Chains A and B, each alone.
Chain A
Amino acid sequence: MIGAMGRILLRDLRISMRQGSDIVVVVMFFVITVALFPFGVGPESNILARIAAGVVWVCAMLATLLSLDRMFLNDYEDGSLEQLALSPLPLFAVVLAKAAAHWLVTGLPLILAAPVLATLLNMAPEGYLTLFFVMLLGTPTLSLVGAIGASLTLGARRAGVLVSVLVLPLYIPVLIFAVGAIDAASMSLTARPHLLFLGAMLAGALPLAPWASAAAIRQALN
């Protein structure tokens, strides 16, 4: 079963790499939306430093959202998804493999871009290490929860808009604890409780999101 999940993961990665623009567009979107804030709020470094964590996270979420539609939609439209549903692998494992591939091509680039953008916003130097860990714990949850939204909107008109409305509210807990952790670290307090909550959310999403998403896909294929 692990071998078959690996095959799906590698296939999705290969497809994303050949359509390299997908990855670049997500990172560019992240960079540009963050870069808008100094223009909108003004270049006062103490104000930017205060909002840096929140801005980076909200923009990372929007960038993730932008890439959610390609998690299942292409496979749904060209018939691959029904063949995947008929593979020896349980649908649950198919979703898990596809969410992992999604994280590798969106979450990981966002993690790498985040410290650079935090510099742009003059984030407190104490927050950087925490920012890295928070992104590492939080972005997989975004991909997993996003998988639910992406599969629920299969076959719907204007799925991209619908997925935002469905998924963004579910991202709020991640946002609260992620920003809380970075703020705590910036003020030289312990970020541990926030990180534990993020870890707990990931641990919860890991079994529950693929299960919910698999049920939604079965419904979409019905």
Chain B
Amino acid sequence: MPNSGTQSFTGEDLLCIRGERAVFAGLEFAVASGDALILSGPNGSGKSSLLRVMAGLLMPARGLLRRDGQPVTDDPEAHHTSLHYVGHLDAVKPVLSVAENLEFWAALKGDASHVASALETFDLQGLSDMSARLLSSGQRRRLNLARIAANPAPLWLLDEPAVGLDTASAAALTELIAAHRAQGGIAIVSTHTDLGINDAETLQLDDFALAAAA
């Protein structure tokens, strides 16, 4: 069972400083297997920063992230192996074909056998031999999202995943997240639009901005 790896993912007393300003302080969260957490808040409230902190790209100024009780800093490579992070940038190489792009990331995560089905999930199978230079921005986004369908990983960190997606692709994403949770996966999503994710908890980031100002 690929997604049985993580039972819980928690953050304690997280403080994030960008420039000279505390973006959020004293932030706590706890998600367990099968949960979804929606990050919401106005622009600049630290949704992207929090997701980068969770992924381990950004070091929190204070606080600790734990997976199954173990601090993630104990074994960052294991943490990286078992998560998918989708940021604002699409990580698509224009000189490679659509399939080559996805194959590279899938193989790097250890298994490139589901590339074809992942492309199908986001309706890219017809474009697989096309140069990625010719993709529209929405198609590039879909190719980036296809990464999460190509390899199982128990923790998904998605930063505004629906930006630029058409309705059919947004529905495919919602379905994918639901299937991921049904298998015991965790999804943490920042979004301004309602993706239709069922019984998700919401973390309001501006609550913690107030704590930072005080």
Contact = CB atoms under 8 A, between A and B. Distances in A.
A7 B104 contact: yes
A89 B109 CA distance: 9
B81 interface: yes
Contacts, number: 65
B122 interface: no
Given A83-B91, A88-B80, A222 B59 contact: yes
A82 B58 CA distance: 11
A55 interface: no
Given A78-B89, A82-B57, A88 B96 contact: no
Interface residues of A, number: 23
B109 A87 contact: yes
A8 interface: yes
B55 interface: yes
A7 B59 contact: no
B92 A15 contact: no
Given A14-B96, A82-B57, A90 B77 contact: yes
A7 B105 CA distance: 10
A27 B121 CA distance: 44
Contact of B104 (A11, A85, A88, A90): A11
Interface in B130-148: none
B88 interface: yes
5 contacts: A11-B93, A14-B96, A79-B87, A82-B57, A86-B80
Given A79-B90, A82-B91, A221-B58, 5 more contacts: A15-B93, A78-B92, A86-B55, A86-B85, A88-B81
Closest 3 pairs (CB-CB, A-B): A79-B89, A88-B81, A79-B91
